[in-house]
Structure 1
Amino acid sequence: MIMTSKFVSHRSLQRALDRKLYLLLYGKAYGSPSDKPVWHFPEKVYESEETLRKCAESALQSVLGELSHTYFVGNAPMGHMVIQPADDAQESGYKRFFFKSQVTATNKFEIGKCEDFVWVTKDELLGYFPEQTEYLNKMIIS
């Protein structure tokens, strides 16, 4: 028996089942040059958390609600970018750290605190951030 399926939404974790998916949010991102919404990873400005990983967990929890179905791979970031100020209004640049986490034992989350969201494959991810393709290709191993 051959089974076919209709198009599965980019909002579903059940697409591209044999490939890793990355969560992108659409909304206001830290450091964006305007108030226009953009696609970005879940993020949070480091404040007083005990570690960078705790900050990353807090960022993900703010959009997922709870982390019982997630697993953070290690305590250290998997990479970082130095972001230069977009204009003279910002005093200095900042560092954006990336942490790897995985979804376990679920296929649905109630994503909040954004205008929209998508789960994308690595190839699709590169289409959202064409100016960072070289860096993302080095950082993400698939």
Structure 2
Amino acid sequence: MARLIDLQDPLNSDAYSEQNLEQPQTKTSLFCLWMKMSLIQPLLTRRGFSTSSQNLVASVLFERLPVVIPKIDPVVYAFQEFSFRWRQQYQRRYPDEFLDKSDARGKGDYQIDYVPAPRVTEADKNNDRRSLQRALDRRLYLLLYGKSYGAPSGKPVWHFPEKVYESEETMRKCAESALKSVIGDLSSTYFVGNAPMGHMVVQPTDDQSRSPSFKRFFFKSQVIAKNKYNIEKCEDFVWVTKDELMEYFPEQAEFFNKMIIS
């Protein structure tokens, strides 16, 4: 009658007789089998993943890129003008017949009366920070005024578009949901990369001793071909430059100054 043998126990008296143990080849085979099972057994067990009660928050730095070229510094402009004159002085000249033909081109053509758009807009004059038509040569960042996760006593504060991580596939998906809940549509936005541009650990204050600490991850997104958004789910909003942004976060000014390079 056949019996089942436990191979994980090479020293089982029921599995192997004393006669088989006396043979050198059998002893070597048993030792090798025991070693293999010792190495494989931990791999067969289910891995345990560490869980933490610490909450994760995804915030979005929604920025509008410069619309016009920034003004050139006077020192840089003087150097560029000097370099141009230097090249003009020592450049290789073409024969006159080539220059005459090239000069003849375009004669008699009409001239277009071109008036460049002003660099300083009405929003700049009125300091209207709710408008995207301001600081055209600077980057602007969207800030919301309302309830924010971790705010003391649930009071409204200035913050970036945010969302607490729940069951999203990635933190970037969570950031996309945060921005979508504010502007409604992501077709005119572009998220830069999948990884966050920075993160910070927020510790509870003395008034929030019972509240747990949480981690806030910042993702960058950019405005694409749009001059106005219908901002929702907030009491107020502003579009501010990097320098103006520090006025709203005086305690985290050093952190944001390092994270926002441009």
TM-score range, shorter chain: over 0.9
Write the letter of the residue equivalent to 1:113: K
**1:33, distance to aligned residue in structure 2 (A):** 1.1
**Number of paired residues?**
141
Aligned to 1:50: 169
Question: Is residue 160 of structure 2 the alignment partner of residue 64 of structure 1?
Answer: no
Matches of residues 1-142 of structure 1 in structure 2 within 5 Å? 3=118, 5-6=121-122, 7=125, 9-86=128-205, 87-90=208-211, 92-142=212-262
Letter in 1 for 2:214: Y
- Report the structure, 1 or 2, having the larger helix content: 2
Shift of 1:34: 1.4
- Counterpart CA distance in 2 for 1:15 and 1:39 is 20
- Post-superposition offset of 1:17: 1.0
Q: Secondary structure, in 3 states, of the residue corresponding to 1:100?
A: strand
Q: Distance in 2 between matches of 1:96 and 1:66?
A: 23
SS at structure 2 position matched to 1:71:
strand
Cα distance in 1, alignment partners of residues 227 and 168 from structure 2: 29
5+ unaligned residues in a row in structure 2: which ranges?
1-114
Q: Which aligned runs of 4 or more in structure 1 are off by greater than 6 angstroms?
A: none
RMSD, aligned α-carbons:
1.4
- Return the offset for 1:27: 0.3
CA distance in 2, matches of 1:46, 1:68: 22
Aligned-pair distance for 1:5? 3.7
Larger Rg: 2
Alpha-carbon distance in 2 for matches of 1:5, 1:106? 17
TM-score by length of 2: 0.52
- State the distance in 2 between where 1:133 and 1:31 align: 18
Residues in 2 aligned to 1:62 and 1:5: alpha-carbon distance in whole angstroms = 30
Give the share of equivalent positions with the same residue, in percent: 73
Q: TM-score, normalising length from structure 1?
A: 0.94
Residues in 1 aligned to 2:171 and 2:155: alpha-carbon distance in whole angstroms: 27
Q: Deviations over 1:9-58 (max 9, x none)?
A: 21111111111111000001000111221100000000000000000000
Separation in 2 of the partners of 1:134 and 1:124?
13
The letter for the 1-side match of 2:222 is Q
User: Which shifted more, 9-18 or 60-69?
Assistant: 9-18
Which amino acid in 2 is paired with 1:98?
F
Range with bigger deviation, 28-37 or 70-79? 28-37
**Pairwise CA distance, 1:131:** 0.5
Give 2:238's aligned amino acid: V
Question: Letter of the aligned partner of 1:79 in structure 2?
Answer: G
Contact 2:121 2:133 in 1 (8 A): no
With a CA cutoff of 8 Å and minimum separation of 6, indicate the structure with the bigger relative contact order: 1
Q: Deviations over 1:59-104 (max 9, x none)?
A: 00000001011000000000001000122221x2000010000000
Identify unmatched segments of 5+ residues in structure 1: none
